[in-house]
Structure 1
Amino acid sequence: MENLNLLSGFFQAIENDFRISTTHIAIFAALLQFRASKDFVNPIQAYSIEIQSIAKIMSHKTYQKCMRELDDYGYLIYVPTKNKNRRSSIYFHLE
């Protein structure tokens, strides 16, 4: 239910935000799906390839750009790691 509330809130928030593209939406939905598979933890720890696979995004650059923008626009908090052996952290704004 919590993921549904997050998704619903996200769609309400982006309704008039023309910076958000279908790629951002796909990534956000993929993050929620990944979170559901991890027992709804917050933050989630994920490799980019795990989320890209769910979102059907092939380009790592596109993924990174959209994740940075989702963070910059305030939809989530993205803490990337430069170490390929460590997962990045993604925090959701829970109410």
Structure 2
Amino acid sequence: MNFIQHLLDAFAKMDREKLLKAYHVSLYISLFRIWNRNRFDNPIWVNRDELKTMSKIGSNNTYYKALRTLEDCGFIKYTPSFDPQVASKVYLYTFDIGTCTPPISKVNPLYKHIKYIYSIYSNEENQKEMKETNMNDKSKKAFQKPPIEHIQIYFEQKGYSEIEAQRFFNYYESNGWMVGGRSKMKDWKAAARNWMLNIQRYQVNSFEKQGTNAQDKMASKEQRNFSSRNYNEPL
């Protein structure tokens, strides 16, 4: 069965049905998911609590009403079991060829719905494993120490000397390439740019300090000259 064409035809039919609401569409999609797991083999055996969870329907009345409406509109054939220990049976009509395919299932209906419930959790477990795998892949791409040659080239491009590049390398090599002594470095170029900014701040502060010291020396010299004068003598 061409499931893409089936869904397109089913949605087109839903658009024409004025009785259908959002929860009908949600319930049909949930039934389609179970049908898909069953390799599009009819009938499928469904569990009420599972379908309510999948379709986000909270009321039992709404659930049964939606099933009956889908049946009346020609989307499914619903056969309730009236036994809480036995799953109900649903045939889904195939719209890509315009026929219904209702072969008898070879699976025991008493336990088949358990397989579907397990499938929900197994999908969640698969997603969790995929997430953990992605996290592991990211951890594998962790920071790697750059060669000193790369650092020298980067400093030269920014207008700084190889000696300053060597200072940068020696500093972070000595502390295990930790930023602030606590966090593992992620981007050495960003750390290098911060290093360069600190160099500029140090140069400015040093220049200001030198200027202040020179002014203090001049003032001190003038004060000494002023105090050593003899004002009893004429000019």
State if a TM-score over 0.5 links the two structures: yes
Deviation per CA, 1:50-74, whole angstroms, max 9, x where unpaired?
A: 1111111111110100001111121
Secondary structure of 1:71's match?
helix
Give the alignment of 1:53-68 within 5 angstroms: 53-68=53-68
| 1:89 corresponding residue in structure 2 | 89
Distance of 1:49 and 1:40 partners within structure 2: 22
| 1:18 corresponding residue in structure 2 | 18
Structure 1 vs Structure 2 CA RMSD: 1.5
Structure with greater helix share of residues? 2
Runs of 5+ unmatched residues, structure 2: 98-235
For the 8 Å contact 1:3–1:32, the answer to whether it is kept is no
Distance of 1:79 and 1:17 partners within structure 2: 22
| 2:50 corresponding residue in structure 1 | 50
How many pairs are equivalent? 95
| 1:34 corresponding residue in structure 2 | 34
Distance of 2:5 and 2:79 partners within structure 1: 23
Distance of 1:10 and 1:21 partners within structure 2: 14
Q: Deviation at 1:30?
A: 0.5
Deviation per CA, 1:10-36, whole angstroms, max 9, x where unpaired?
A: 111121211010010000000011122
Taking structure 2 as the reference length, the TM-score comes to 0.38
2:54 maps to a residue whose letter is: I
Structure with greater strand share of residues? 1
2:32 maps to a residue whose letter is: L
Secondary structure of 1:93's match?
strand
Q: Report sequence identity in percent.
A: 25
Distance of 1:55 and 1:8 partners within structure 2: 19
Q: Deviation at 1:92?
A: 1.2
Q: Deviation at 1:80?
A: 1.0
Q: Deviation at 1:5?
A: 2.9
Q: CA 1:2–1:54 in 2, change beyond 3 Å: closer, same or farther?
A: farther
Q: Which has the larger radius of gyration?
A: 2
| 2:77 corresponding residue in structure 1 | 77
Taking structure 1 as the reference length, the TM-score comes to 0.89
For the 8 Å contact 1:45–1:90, the answer to whether it is kept is yes
2:15 maps to a residue whose letter is: E
